[in-house]
């Protein structure tokens, strides 16, 4: 059974590698035996968690390349680099995305006044950039006749953010989760199904993994309110996410495609 979850000799591409969740996915893939080709924006700061992984694994197992997922030419160059330096990718984790957490801008808008530009970038990266990345790296997988694409969604692909989680934040206008965030993640889930149905006959599986709230620097009042809403009574930690990802990446899920695996502690069950 353990062999079904092995990723030995697999080449995985992870976008948004230097972000908060990037290192969680990368570590899980590396520990399952894969080599990882990590992508993030030019000039993006290397996170402490990513440096830790670089110290643990040599450059043959973990390489970092810069590309903007909204630019096809940059993605195609990255794909060629991946093939020449690591090998043909067989796993793609579409993790890159934009969220707007509280205090990220220091100001907010009332719903009826949110500028279009506040939403445009989120949609471009979270949805269009993800689709473009799937096209470029998926083409390599289609030629090889095998592959697993995992699109990172969110519990907010299926439910609306609860504004009461943020009502203790003393801002006027009050903080609102960007409407484009949930809309973009819902689009990701639908794109997952679309790609899955087209590419299944050619050996490429496409699934979505939608985490619930992941613990990481939120204020105490938010955590208390959020955890009260979760049947399991807590937020997700990194150990909760790696296993589901490896499942979707590996032969253990060889008959699974077009699905959304929600890892939210039961949040959406209520």
Give me the mean pLDDT over the 234-248 stretch: 97
* Confidence bin at 175 (pLDDT 50/70/90): confident
Own/partner contacts of 103-106, CB < 8 Å, gap of 24 or more, are 103/169
Tell me which residue range forms the domain holding 248: 2-269
Sign of CA dihedral 94, 207, 256, 159: positive
| pLDDT above 90 for 42 | yes
Q: Please say if 194 is a catalytic residue.
A: no
pTM over the 0.75 mark = yes
pLDDT of residue 100: 81
Give the whole-angstrom CA distance, residue 75 versus residue 57.
Answer: 24
Percentage of the chain modeled with pLDDT above 70: 98
User: What tokens were used for 229?
Assistant: 């809403």
Q: What are phi and psi of 183, to 5 degrees?
A: -60, -40
Residue predicted with more confidence, 10 or 109: 10
Give me the mean pLDDT over the 166-180 stretch: 87
| pLDDT above 60 for 105 | no
What's the domain count of the chain?
1
Whole-number average pLDDT of the chain: 94
Do 261 and 148 meet the contact criterion of CB atoms below 8 Å apart? no
| pLDDT above 70 for 41 | yes
pLDDT of residue 172: 81
User: What tokens were used for 159?
Assistant: 């439910």
Percentage of the chain modeled with pLDDT above 90: 86
| pLDDT above 80 for 1 | no
pLDDT of residue 44: 94
pLDDT digits (tens, 9 = 90+) for 54-100: 999 999 999 999 999 999 999 999 999 999 999 999 999 999 999 88
- C-alpha 117 chain-centroid distance: 23
Give the whole-angstrom CA distance, residue 27 versus residue 262.
Answer: 20
pLDDT of residue 141: 98
DSSP 126: I
Active-site hit among 109, 156, 181, 194: 181
Residue predicted with more confidence, 7 or 110: 7
Give the whole-angstrom CA distance, residue 161 versus residue 260.
Answer: 19
pLDDT of residue 110: 86
pLDDT of residue 108: 74
* 3-state DSSP helix/strand/coil % of the chain, to nearest 5: 45, 15, 40
Give me the mean pLDDT over the 17-42 stretch: 97
Give me the mean pLDDT over the 120-136 stretch: 97
pLDDT of residue 240: 97
User: What tokens were used for 88?
Assistant: 């043909």
pLDDT of residue 106: 55
Give me the mean pLDDT over the 101-124 stretch: 81
Which CATH number belongs to the domain containing residue 10 in this structure?
A: 3.40.50.720
Give the whole-angstrom CA distance, residue 69 versus residue 129.
Answer: 5
User: What tokens were used for 24?
Assistant: 């969680």
Give me the mean pLDDT over the 235-247 stretch: 97
């Amino acid at each position: 059974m353990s062999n079904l979850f092995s990723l030995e000799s697999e080449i995985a591409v992870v976008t948004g590698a230097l972000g908060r969740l990037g290192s969680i996915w990368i570590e899980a893939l590396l520990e399952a035996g894969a080599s990882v080709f990590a992508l993030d924006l030019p000039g993006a700061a290397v996170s402490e968690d990513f440096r830790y992984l670089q110290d643990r694994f040599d450059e043959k197992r973990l390489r970092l390349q810069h590309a903007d997922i909204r630019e096809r030419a940059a993605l195609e160059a990255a794909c060629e680099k991946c093939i020449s330096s690591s090998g043909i990718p067989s796993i793609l984790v579409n993790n890159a995305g934009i969220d707007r957490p509280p205090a990220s801008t220091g100001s907010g808008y009332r719903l009826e006044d949110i500028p279009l530009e506040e939403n445009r970038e989120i949609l471009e990266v979270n949805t269009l950039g993800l689709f473009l990345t799937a096209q470029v790296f998926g083409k390599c997988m289609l030629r090889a006749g095998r592959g697993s694409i995992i699109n990172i969604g969110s519990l907010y692909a299926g439910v609306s953010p609860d504004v009461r989680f943020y009502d203790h934040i003393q801002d006027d206008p009050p903080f609102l989760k960007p409407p484009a965030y949930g809309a973009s993640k819902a689009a990701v889930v639908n794109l997952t199904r679309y790609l899955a149905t087209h590419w299944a006959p050619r050996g490429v599986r496409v699934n979505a993994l939608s985490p619930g709230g992941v613990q990481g620097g939120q204020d105490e009042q938010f955590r208390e309110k959020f955890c009260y809403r979760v049947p399991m009574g807590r937020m997700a930690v990194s150990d909760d996410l790696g296993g589901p990802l490896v499942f979707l990446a590996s032969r253990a899920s060889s008959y699974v495609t077009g699905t959304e695996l929600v890892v939210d502690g039961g949040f959406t069950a209520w």
